[in-house]
């Protein structure tokens, strides 16, 4: 990718992330409004804080791996870093599905909003998995794509930051 294309792509990613932030802001706002009207539902403790903390740890591991991948010039180190990020992301989705399959949660407006927020983040992680997988396949073929790797790393770090903001809102406040 030439420098001008790289800068345009980076601007495009930042604009997408700004728009995506507005999407999540709307979901968080709806969640908080519904939650403030029914605080007793959330106080039940049905949601697992330990699973959510494991999710946070997996995202941070993936973040460190993507930061390493974004700086790699060696094919084998790049493959290793992308593989670690991919495994961390897959682990995140596994834990998220486990959390979402809780049998005792009621189906009301509050939990519908909660799961919309929770699953919207999971879908974004799935998109990151696809992007990382594409980069990994290219790296395994001997093609190092530093500009594209940096763009995926920016997206991944956004997802981590988002989870760091969502974690206390979803799991630590009001309990």
Distance CA 85, CA 81 (A): 6
Which tokens go with 137? 């396949």
CATH number of 49-172: 1.20.120.80
| 3-22 pLDDT per residue, tens | 777 788 889 999 999 999 99
Q: Average pLDDT in the 20-48 region?
A: 79
Distance CA 158, CA 154 (A): 6
In the chain, domain spans: 49-172
Which tokens go with 85? 């990020």
Is pLDDT at 175 greater than 50 in this prediction? no
Sign of CA pseudo-dihedral 136, 137, 139, 145: negative
Residue 171's CB: how many other CB atoms inside 10 A?
20
Residue 172, pLDDT score? 74
The alpha-carbon radius of gyration of the chain (Å, integer) is 18
Range from 87-96, 102-111, 144-153 carrying the lowest mean pLDDT: 102-111
Residue 20's CB: how many other CB atoms inside 10 A?
16
């Amino acid at each position: 990718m030439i420098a001008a294309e790289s800068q345009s792509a980076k601007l495009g990613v930042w604009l997408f992330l700004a728009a995506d932030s507005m999407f999540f802001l709307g979901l968080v706002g709806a969640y908080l409004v519904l939650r403030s009207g029914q605080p007793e539902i959330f106080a039940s403790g049905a949601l697992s804080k330990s699973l959510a903390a494991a999710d946070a740890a997996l995202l941070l591991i993936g973040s460190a791996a993507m930061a390493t991948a974004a700086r790699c010039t060696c094919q084998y180190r790049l493959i290793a870093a992308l593989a670690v990020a991919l495994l961390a992301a897959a682990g995140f989705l596994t834990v998220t599905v486990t959390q979402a399959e809780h049998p005792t949660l009621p189906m009301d407006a509050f939990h519908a909003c909660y799961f919309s927020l929770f699953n919207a983040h999971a879908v974004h992680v799935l998109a990151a998995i696809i992007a990382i997988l594409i980069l990994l396949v290219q790296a395994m073929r001997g093609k190092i794509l530093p500009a594209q790797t940096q763009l995926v790393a920016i997206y991944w770090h956004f997802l981590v930051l988002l989870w760091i903001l969502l974690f206390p809102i979803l799991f630590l406040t009001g309990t």
